[in-house]
Structure 1
């Protein structure tokens, strides 16, 4: 780690000399491009892994000599081998299922593919069943390109703090990261020049900016750029002239733009083309390509035509002056076919097109058809990528009449199908067939290494996550799959669809085991079996819970409808089966955004009558989001919930009393779903919790106590995670990405999580760090003063006798100290805090606690106070509700009205508190 190595600047050997001639490298220290966060640095005496990288190095599994620090997002671990990553990260990406079918799939080598999966670039060795993941983006990748020699891969994203990263495909190392290239919008199109020294990016904003980069230079800003008028349409495709890196072309659906960059900056021209130009319908532009004759440019259209652009010759000029943008005009509109063209590229002396019917056609330079490869039924072609080298030995294809026949190619479609097509264009094999719509449901088999995945396109697949192979699949043509659940024995798979139907399938064949249930009026959101498979429960988007009971029909086990109930008036977040504490009978709970935790009386329920045993309101202001049975760490049984205010709460499983409130993981968004990991045979006394937030997957050490170092989180699906599943042995966590159509497999390393917790400190050290200024800060000293002042007040201020100062204060004084420290809980929150301390030892000793010491008070304060304090957003919302508009249109509140509201409205016992009135005196309106 002593200094940067030259590997950060490495280029392919062919372009290294040219880069040095242009001054691209300079000296290693001055010219080193910026690294991606967490990128590895080599020791000064170690050879550069980029400089000496060769094809195939990526999968050699070499252990690295140095390792990056573990970051909260878990990004930029791409330069670690899978073995090394598992040593340092609590959860590491092991496999990616699915891909972004709106982006291209590239052929790096024969049998090796490169594609995008959410925020990760996957290098997939199909023949060897291996994957390597290039992780560096925090947002979903929006575009990528690959250099001509397949050595350099450039990726870009859209979202907060967008990045452009250039990777070495041979070693998997990020060699350059461009920060804030298009802040506020991100990148929608990217291209790399044939010599791999220049990069062009187009922003995704309303006013698009086109930037030219020399990425081998240390400059943090583009060489030149230009902003485009919105009247040109949204430019979403760009490509360099392979014979001149200073020229490139981009197009939207309605406008093709030609560019030239150099010392004069970035120039562009926008030649017009309408229906009147050639008296024929043009259609929307799709992709453009430079003709191999060096002057012409071709653009495919949705009308199945190709526009030929050529240099506009001016009288009196033999040729255009050097450095000036050549005037281009549309010279021909060539009808190619009736179907829309989706792909257009130039390969050596051939022009290749792909269309919406799955046809790949080859043309000569005069656009005369040479051959056609028909793959109808696979969907519209999204990309065509030819292998880097001819498949035949040198000279073997020289006698062929079609030079394009010397290379295999990879075909990807917008329907998420990838084909490998042989040299003759007729022999092909299906490499991947993935979901073409959102993947919202996953479930792990309770005894086998099987993962069931369901998509909104109706595709249901069962995948063996250890053997890395597809076992069986099924298509539901009428609706999409919304939720899945295996029964505890692993014999059945319950499937809830978007049309409200429920299918109970055989776990092996995926054939229906009983009739299809259609008792829900909305899409099924949750499905769950009881521990003995006696009951099957579902929840739907119409806020109803439906229960099915097991019966025997013709000596076959199946289920029949028992009853349903619209038990909630807002979306249901969880349904959960458990076991009665005094027996083996199942119990059923449901939790909704209406803050209701409802338990049903299954034994008393009858046909068409679902009986509610108990309703309990679990929150006052926050919204409960997920539910789980808490492991037994004591004789008391608990239910664990997580809410929208980043709090986790423990409720007594019988009385539903809130027994403890704890600070949950605070990684950008609250917990959406959570599951308890199975017991480990090696350490059965240790338990862990897996969870997903809006875009992250994480682990939490149990029991929960509010210590932030006991949890970790990694970005898994930047556009939103939809589901979570855990393998039967607890070794793997699976996350579904919803709209990104992918499922990620994460390998769990609990030792790394325990190590991170140990590094965070023991006892109260992690909690002191959560106080402003820590244990030595003014805030802590003020807390001590208030703590001892309460003792004085409890003894009486005017007391003349000797005082017995202790480390404890009465429970009744907890609200006063909380308010003195700036936290103003409601009366319900005060009751929960006092009960938490009062009954903390009741199960063990049978006695109530009547006092609290400073150490326990600090934990109580940190766990109960708002996770992020009072924000200006909350204050503005209050002014919007309570205030009125003044003459300037601003929301204001009269001082007297505010005092009246504080004293007479809302939570009455708190409203009249003198502390609140004192606070109001300090507010300047």
Structure 2
């Protein structure tokens, strides 16, 4: 739950229902029936919430992009009205409903100052702006607002330094007294009250002869502790303070009763039930000498540490309704055999939750190193490993959270203080590996000595990456079945470790392979046994997925991955179940803020995957239940864990609607099946057959449906896709070995459908981004002292192209620049004789300036069409740059 927002009591005669907010969802929690009703409509975290006096209407608002204000019917849980663009500058920070629910007031943030708006909610099919006023920045940020209980034209708002009294068409304020927390009108009197962080209450009285004007009447030192909540119940003033006490005051601000033994911390909200108290039986007595019964309604209290309690009106019984994570929720993990999910947060709380019975199994609080970063169950479900931000690792019992060992596993001679980021168990549960922010991998082994119980021993640690580790993975050796350990880092290195040769404070590296050329790996998992080969599946920030042979580490296939706004961050295979296609397997994944599903085997079809928003502020972890029915996500800073129900039949239906065979791939081509790109592809495909047979041949032409594999690079480049030599090698290996495991023979030809799949899967998903060129110039170039513009000298650029990355020869450089600058007479390939090389060299010196700026390179050399280069180059979010295809020249 979001402990910074209030919790409301919606209790009726038979049920105890509360309403609270988590992330971008409002939750109506029926504690009596142990059920939740989720109110989903926002795409950004909810920033403020209010309910009507009769608890019939609920209003929620957010502060993100395309911010919304939604009015809900709490009886049905259905949104009845959505207000768009009320505060487009920055969203809403405070709102309130009038006591008759006919008006809604909102305070929004802007670039310079706040705006207060009052909206009429009748008639139901319209939104009427009654009034609007700008609040100067000097007044402070108004974060609390409410209507006068008897007069909808009067409002009161509070910031830390000011209390503002508003009347429609006018706004006045008086001198500030202390740091204000909340303010309230009193329904039976003319005064208003403001609470301060020093425990004082400031009494406001109307000015004589000034409608809507208020003046400070008296400052009353009410208590020693800071008042954090100020509200009204019937004719009583009620406060909640930083010590967890709730106090009731009468008309003269004399304390009548209090709840001081609830063992709570700082109170963040108070909400009373709507049911009027009846009789005097069971109610507490006030603090006066007469000791009269004090009729108090049922009360729901929430605290800053995400604890919600219910206090009954009769007897004052305290019942804890929720005790949730008050700090960032970083990790979730599912038990491999039981319906249990583990959740850990930076507040040190570790919970085991039964998601079938919807009840807490057990919990544990860590105090020495409370910041839990990751969790992992072993395949047998006996052990639960916990990794902490301080570098500690603790292994607990998987179902009871008991620990028979010390607080953390020993590290021998090392003192590790880096935060643990990844944890994994081997398939036989004998090995535990961890990765940390120090870019190192640590290995533990479960040992069982004679006459002693099992214990975890430290084996070794290796600093195997020079950039953060993205994934840590155990597998099985194909021939022996022994465990193997691999790690993948942002440094593009796939490292495998020698587990049998490790030990004695030494972790041995078996091999290290570079798996990407330009993409940055994001995650990795084992590909299911859908083929005769064993594959590793990796993803990159370029929205590409690659299959690597698990033994040779050769890239065997490149595919277009899910494109839902951000790259994949974690993948998990779903276990087999009766739902869905029995011949297929399925995979769950998360991106920066979404959770999704993918149908396997992979082929690049965009309709075989789906995703939806899960945590608008970012998802930190994911887990899948042992039976494959549910996926769990942790939201990090929103302190929320979501349980998602998986519907494979719906995923298969969506994939079927996308079309069969090549239909989904035609949609990825500009113009589709009838577009210009497809017609060019056909022309170049058949022209390539003429090239392979010889342009000057006089023999009868043999028209085929295939082209030689060696012709694929030329056709790709003619279509505007310019792969590197490594990408071409991966492309040719993909085709060449596609049937080798089944037939033992190489494939040397490509037909048009297979070529279309190759083109769609291998070409960049987003084209060349302008900010990538800006970054390259900032790294490789020099900055002018006077102008500040970055440039690269001609000699430096030519040297880099010949000495770094995939080296280019002088002839290749001259050919490329001649074509780009249009200095070749035919625009095609030059014949590299002595005279032509000297001519080309002279032309390059003439046409390429001595100092090359970004604008010169993009517009003058690459020839990208920029209508406004100055504006485009200044923006790092510019659209992708796509070079024009040469439709007049043959593929070269």
Is the pair's TM-score, using the shorter chain for normalization, greater than 0.5? Answer: yes
Given that residues 309 and 330 in structure 1 are in contact (C-alpha distance below 8 angstroms), is that contact kept between their aligned partners in structure 2?
Answer: yes
Match of residue 485, structure 1, among 376, 386, 389:
376
Please say which structure displays the higher CA radius of gyration.
Answer: 2
Aligned to 2:173: 270
State the shift of 1:658 in Å.
Answer: 0.9
Match of residue 533, structure 1, among 417, 429, 449:
429
Given that residues 280 and 295 in structure 2 are in contact (C-alpha distance below 8 angstroms), is that contact kept between their aligned partners in structure 1?
Answer: no
Match of residue 229, structure 1, among 129, 132, 136:
136
Match of residue 167, structure 2, among 245, 248, 260:
260
Given that residues 339 and 625 in structure 2 are in contact (C-alpha distance below 8 angstroms), is that contact kept between their aligned partners in structure 1?
Answer: yes
Aligned to 1:127: 32
1:176 aligns with 2:88: no
1:199 aligns with 2:97: no
Given that residues 433 and 441 in structure 2 are in contact (C-alpha distance below 8 angstroms), is that contact kept between their aligned partners in structure 1?
Answer: yes
1:298 aligns with 2:199: no
Match of residue 400, structure 2, among 502, 509, 532:
509
Match of residue 390, structure 2, among 494, 499, 523:
499
Distance (whole Å) between structure 2 residues aligned to residue 191 and residue 695 of structure 1: 30
Aligned to 1:245: 152
Q: How does 1:668-679 map to 2 (within 5 A)?
A: 668-679=565-576
Aligned to 2:513: 616
Q: How does 1:614-763 map to 2 (within 5 A)?
A: 614-681=511-578, 684-763=582-661
Given that residues 191 and 238 in structure 1 are in contact (C-alpha distance below 8 angstroms), is that contact kept between their aligned partners in structure 2?
Answer: yes
Q: Secondary structure at the match of 1:840?
A: coil
1:771 aligns with 2:674: no
Q: Secondary structure at the match of 2:507?
A: strand
Aligned to 1:908: 807
Aligned to 1:606: 503
Distance (whole Å) between structure 1 residues aligned to residue 283 and residue 462 of structure 2: 71
Q: Secondary structure at the match of 1:609?
A: coil
Given that residues 801 and 808 in structure 2 are in contact (C-alpha distance below 8 angstroms), is that contact kept between their aligned partners in structure 1?
Answer: no
State the shift of 1:296 in Å.
Answer: 1.6
State the shift of 1:816 in Å.
Answer: 2.2
State the shift of 1:696 in Å.
Answer: 0.8
Given that residues 154 and 212 in structure 2 are in contact (C-alpha distance below 8 angstroms), is that contact kept between their aligned partners in structure 1?
Answer: no
What RMSD over aligned residues (CA atoms) do the two structures have, in Å?
2.5
Which structure's relative contact order is higher, taking Cα pairs within 8 Å and 6+ residues apart? 1
Q: CA deviation digits over 1:466-516, x for unaligned, max 9?
A: 011111111110112111111111111111122211111112321113232
Given that residues 328 and 347 in structure 2 are in contact (C-alpha distance below 8 angstroms), is that contact kept between their aligned partners in structure 1?
Answer: yes
Distance (whole Å) between structure 1 residues aligned to residue 532 and residue 563 of structure 2: 30
State the shift of 1:298 in Å.
Answer: 0.9
State the shift of 1:821 in Å.
Answer: 2.0
TM-score, normalised to structure 2, is 0.86
Q: Secondary structure at the match of 1:309?
A: strand
Say if 1:871 and 1:464 are closer, same or farther in 2 by CA, change over 3 A.
same
Q: CA deviation digits over 1:178-225, x for unaligned, max 9?
A: 112222411111111111121111123342222222234555674332
State the shift of 1:526 in Å.
Answer: 1.6
Q: Which runs of 5+ in 2 are unaligned?
A: 821-860, 870-892
Aligned to 1:215: 121
Aligned to 2:68: 163
Given that residues 227 and 239 in structure 2 are in contact (C-alpha distance below 8 angstroms), is that contact kept between their aligned partners in structure 1?
Answer: yes
Distance (whole Å) between structure 2 residues aligned to residue 547 and residue 684 of structure 1: 38
Given that residues 883 and 891 in structure 1 are in contact (C-alpha distance below 8 angstroms), is that contact kept between their aligned partners in structure 2?
Answer: no
1:918 aligns with 2:808: no
Q: CA deviation digits over 1:73-125, x for unaligned, max 9?
A: xxxxxxxxxxxxxxxxxxxxxxxxxx111111111124101111111111111
Given that residues 405 and 425 in structure 1 are in contact (C-alpha distance below 8 angstroms), is that contact kept between their aligned partners in structure 2?
Answer: no
State the shift of 1:397 in Å.
Answer: 7.7
1:329 aligns with 2:215: yes
Say if 1:201 and 1:833 are closer, same or farther in 2 by CA, change over 3 A.
same
Aligned to 2:10: 108
Given that residues 350 and 404 in structure 1 are in contact (C-alpha distance below 8 angstroms), is that contact kept between their aligned partners in structure 2?
Answer: no
Given that residues 899 and 917 in structure 1 are in contact (C-alpha distance below 8 angstroms), is that contact kept between their aligned partners in structure 2?
Answer: no
Given that residues 210 and 227 in structure 1 are in contact (C-alpha distance below 8 angstroms), is that contact kept between their aligned partners in structure 2?
Answer: yes
Say if 1:483 and 1:923 are closer, same or farther in 2 by CA, change over 3 A.
closer
Distance (whole Å) between structure 2 residues aligned to residue 767 and residue 248 of structure 1: 59
1:311 aligns with 2:201: no
Q: Which runs of 5+ in 1 are unaligned?
A: 1-98, 275-281, 314-318
Given that residues 148 and 187 in structure 2 are in contact (C-alpha distance below 8 angstroms), is that contact kept between their aligned partners in structure 1?
Answer: no
Distance (whole Å) between structure 1 residues aligned to residue 155 and residue 217 of structure 2: 19
Match of residue 344, structure 1, among 230, 234, 240:
230
Q: How does 1:827-906 map to 2 (within 5 A)?
A: 827-881=725-779, 889=787, 891=789, 900=798, 904=802
Given that residues 286 and 300 in structure 1 are in contact (C-alpha distance below 8 angstroms), is that contact kept between their aligned partners in structure 2?
Answer: yes
Distance (whole Å) between structure 1 residues aligned to residue 578 and residue 363 of structure 2: 33
State the shift of 1:676 in Å.
Answer: 0.3
State the shift of 1:753 in Å.
Answer: 0.5
Given that residues 440 and 737 in structure 1 are in contact (C-alpha distance below 8 angstroms), is that contact kept between their aligned partners in structure 2?
Answer: yes
Say if 1:685 and 1:398 are closer, same or farther in 2 by CA, change over 3 A.
same
